[in-house]
Amino acid sequence: MTVLLAIVVGGLYASGLFLMLRRSIVKLAFGLVLLGHGTNLLILTAAGVVRGRPPLIPKGEGAFHAPPADPVAQALILTAIVISFAVVAFAVVLLHRVHRTMGSDDIDSLESTRP
C-alpha cells in the first residue's frame, strides 16, 4: 500500500511540475493543484498508513491495542486542503483577469510588454 501511494505521490509531483513548466497559464494552475494533492498524499503516506484502526480507545479499556491511525496527519491535511482551496480560488480568478487583460494564456505574452 505504501509503495503504491509513494508511486502515486511521485506521479502527482512529476505531472504537476511538468504542467507548470509548460507555457500556458491554465496549465500552471493545474500544475499547482496536482502539486498540492501530491503533497497532501505525501503527508498521509509519510505519517504511516494504517488501515481500519481509528484512533479511539475501545470501551472499557485504558489504552490503544494496535498502533492506531495518526489523527495529526489527517488534521494537517485537512488544514492544507482548506488553504489550497482558497489559494486555487484566488489563482483561478487571477488567471481569468490576466486572460481578460492580455487576451492570451501564454506566459510569454506577459514578458513581451516589459519596459
Binding residues for another protein, per CB under 8 A? 20, 25, 28, 32, 35-36, 38-40, 42-43, 45-48, 70, 72-73, 76, 79-80, 83, 86-87, 90-91, 94, 97-98, 101-102, 107, 110-111, 113-115
CB 65, min distance to another protein, A: 19
Nearest approach in angstroms of CB 112 to another protein is: 10
Q: What minimum distance in Å lies between the beta carbon of 4 and another protein?
A: 16
First to last CA, the chain: 53
d(CA 77, CA 38): 11
Please report the sign of the dihedral spanned by the C-alpha atoms of residue 90, residue 98, residue 32, residue 114. Answer: negative
| Longest CA–CA separation in the chain, Å | 73
